[in-house]
Amino acid sequence: MKIRFAVTPPAAALAGDAFADYLAHCEHLGFDTLWLSDIPLGPGGDPLVSLACAAGCTRRLKLGANLVPLGRNPWWLAKQLAQLDQLSGGRLLLSFVPGLGSPPERAALGYTRGDRGRAIETVMDLCRRWWAGEAVTAEFEGARFDGVTLDLRPRQAPLEVWLGGKGPLALARVARAGDGWLTAAVTPAEAAAGRRSIEQQAVACGRAVDPEHFGISIPVSRDTPPPAALAALKARRDDGDLSQVVATGREALRALVRAHLDGGLSKFVLRPLNALERRADWRTDLEWMADSVLDLQR
């Protein structure tokens, strides 16, 4: 089984000239992937713009994003993703997610009501059809496509789309339509149970999810995490228990990774909990994460 580690840059590393330095250091240290998260009403920019920049600054590093497709025209999205995969030499990795779901975000994206998960499936299906060279006739959220084709194809065939989530509907969606599962804010036991559920449901759908396509985003901290970051994570769990969700310190991180490996997960996105701090010491954080886990990467 291939074990791979991705890193999420903090705000300090995304600003100005620091981003190119961050990318170079990621490649030098040996991380597999740069991973960005799409937070429509958050302080960061569009991950696709940052990944386009990263494609020109790197040669080996894979380029991934949790992308909120809602609010984006699906034809333009399919075109942008195909072009980005071409420009990066086939290094693009994708996970489609519904967003945080707050009322302001839903309103901004045009989804005050309705099933966001079902909309994601529709966008994913349209993108795949265009990437396969089909002439697509369809209607979606006010847009109409009459035999529309896309002459630009991704370099990867197929360009895979993973899905996130942890609830029953999200797991069923991965089993039915996803190429992989990238979850978050779950314990090793919950992640292992989710993987088993996806695999069982996929069989019932007459398909299979690659056993190496199960991953998780792990919040990490070298020392005491910022209280605000912990509060946000606690709000995502009914029990508020982060003891098997957050990794504080090297040994805790290694133990948590090994627990997830035992549960069948093998792809890890390391997300520093000081990510929103403009003065975060990203270089020290990056070197600490590399020293903590990259010997496990294979």
Q: Is residue 171 part of a domain?
A: yes
pLDDT band at 112 (very low <50, low <70, confident <90, very high): confident
Residues 224 and 262 in one domain: yes
Mean of pLDDT over the chain: 95
Look at residue 277 and tell me whether its pLDDT is greater than 90.
Answer: no
- Whether residues 154 and 165 share a domain: the answer is no
- Boundary residue ending a domain (132, 158, 184): 158
Question: Which of 158, 174, 197 is the C-terminal boundary of a domain?
Answer: 158
Q: Say whether both 149 and 84 belong to one domain.
A: yes
Q: How far apart are CA 95 and CA 64, in angstroms?
A: 8
Residues 191 and 249 in one domain: yes
CATH number of the domain to which 12 belongs: 3.20.20.30
In a domain, 16, yes or no: yes
The answer on 167 and 291 residing in a single domain is yes
* Shared-domain flag, residues 167 and 293: yes
Number of domain units in the chain:
2
Q: Give 253's contacts (C-beta < 8 A, 6+ positions apart).
A: 218, 220, 247, 270, 289, 292, 293
| Coil/strand/helix, residue 101 | coil
Q: Tens digit of pLDDT for each residue in 19-58? A: 999 999 999 999 999 999 999 998 888 999 999 999 999 9
- pTM listed for this prediction: 0.95
Q: Is residue 167 part of a domain?
A: yes
User: Is 288 found in the same domain as 238?
Assistant: yes
What integer pLDDT is reported at residue 42 of this predicted model?
Answer: 86
Q: Give the model's pLDDT for residue 275.
A: 78
d(CA 172, CA 1): 24
The per-residue pLDDT for 17 is: 86
Q: What are the pLDDT digits (tens) for 114-140?
A: 889 999 999 999 999 999 999 999 999
Cα first-last separation, the chain: 8
Same domain for 17 and 101, yes or no, is no
Tens-digit pLDDT profile for residues 133-177: 999 999 998 999 999 999 999 999 999 999 999 999 999 999 999
Q: What is the dihedral of CA 116, 122, 123, 124, to 10 degrees?
A: 110
Give how far Cα 96 sits from Cα of 53, 173, 255, 268, Å: 21, 11, 28, 17
Give the chain's count of helices (H) and strands (E). Answer: 11, 11
Does 291 lie in the same domain as 171? yes
Asked whether the predicted pLDDT for residue 274 surpasses 90, the reply is: no
Residues 168 and 283 occupy one common structural domain: yes
Range of the domain at 149: 62-158
**Cα–Cα dist 232/179, whole Å:** 28
Q: Mark whether 193 and 292 lie in a shared domain.
A: yes
Domain-terminating residue out of 99, 123, 158 = 158
Instruction: Indicate if 221 and 249 belong to the same structural domain.
Output: yes
